[in-house]
């Protein structure tokens, strides 16, 4: 089955959401991070990882409301300091009511601080590592986050990238439904072959439309719901 022209998918989205102007307005409401965010210090990437990990499977509004407390409890997410946390620090955090006291996610944040240090040693900084990774290989980047980081696979990794300035697509329920409709996949993608097909479709549609992956992803979702 030949891949549909993206203009056809845009047409579906426009029909559902008030034409091209309606779609444009919705895209403005869900911008994600800015490319300039990739030039921030590595402490902000650790904070972004922690926010994603703690929000996964939890009410994100609770995490947002407590975020100042998280910043204080983790010393502004100073990467070297968090990477050096020991059992006493974990015990301290488990007793700290300013944060959500979830032991595995606290440990995950410490592990991710060490992951960031490793990447920074190899590439100069975590931000430079992300800036240098091509948007045409999101599945490869997610694999690095999943295998070398902690709790950063799948949707958590994609949301982390999106909201920290890297041009990521999100495989939400509606995006998956659109990809199935267009014959890219036949069910929610889990294996390497299916993910490769998804990436190839996004690469074609971003080239064809001139849009970033985040907008292609959002328009796919809007074409369904």
pLDDT of residue 1: 66
Arithmetic mean of pLDDT over the chain: 96
Mean pLDDT of 31-53: 94
Q: 154 versus 209: which is more confidently predicted? A: 209
31, pLDDT greater than 80: no
DSSP string covering the chain: -PPPPHHHHHHHHHHHTTHHHHHHHHHHH-----GGGGGS-HHHHHHHHHHHHHHTTS-HHHHHHTHHHHHHHTGGG-HHHHHT--HHHHHHHHT-TTS---HHHHHHHHHHHHHHHHHHHHHSSHHHHHHHS-GGGHHHHHHHHHHHSSS-SHHHHHHHHHHTTS------HHHHHHHHHTTS-SSS--SHHHHHHHHHHHHHHHHHH---HHHHHHHHHHTT-
Question: What is the reported pLDDT for 60?
Answer: 87
Split at pLDDT 50, 70, 90, the class of 97 is very high
pLDDT tens, residue by residue, 162-205: 999 999 999 999 999 999 999 999 999 989 999 999 999 999 99
Query: 2 pLDDT exceeds 90?
Result: no
Q: Who has greater pLDDT, 31 or 139?
A: 139
Q: Structure pTM?
A: 0.92
Percent of the chain with pLDDT over 90: 92
Query: Tokens 């490319």 belong to which residue?
Result: 35
């Amino acid at each position: 089955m030949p891949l549909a022209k993206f203009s056809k998918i845009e047409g579906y989205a426009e029909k559902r959401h008030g034409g091209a102007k309606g779609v444009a307005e919705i895209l403005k409401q869900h911008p994600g991070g800015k490319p300039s965010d990739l030039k921030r210090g590595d402490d902000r990437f650790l904070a972004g990882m922690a926010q994603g990990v703690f929000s996964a499977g939890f009410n994100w509004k609770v995490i947002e409301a407590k975020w100042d407390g998280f910043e204080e409890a983790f010393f502004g997410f100073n990467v070297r300091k968090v990477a050096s946390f020991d059992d006493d620090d974990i015990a301290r955090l488990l007793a700290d009511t300013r944060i959500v006291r979830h032991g595995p996610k606290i440990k995950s944040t410490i592990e991710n601080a060490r992951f960031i240090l490793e990447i920074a040693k190899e590439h100069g900084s975590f931000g430079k590592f992300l800036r240098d990774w091509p948007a045409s290989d999101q599945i490869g980047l997610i694999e690095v986050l999943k295998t070398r980081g902690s709790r950063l696979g799948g949707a958590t990794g994609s949301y982390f990238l999106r909201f920290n300035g890297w041009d990521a697509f999100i495989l939400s329920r509606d995006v998956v439904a659109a990809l199935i409709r267009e014959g890219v996949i036949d069910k929610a993608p889990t294996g390497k072959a299916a993910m490769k097909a998804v990436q190839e479709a996004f690469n074609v549609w971003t080239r064809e439309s001139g849009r970033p992956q985040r907008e292609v992803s959002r328009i796919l979702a809007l074409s369904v719901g």
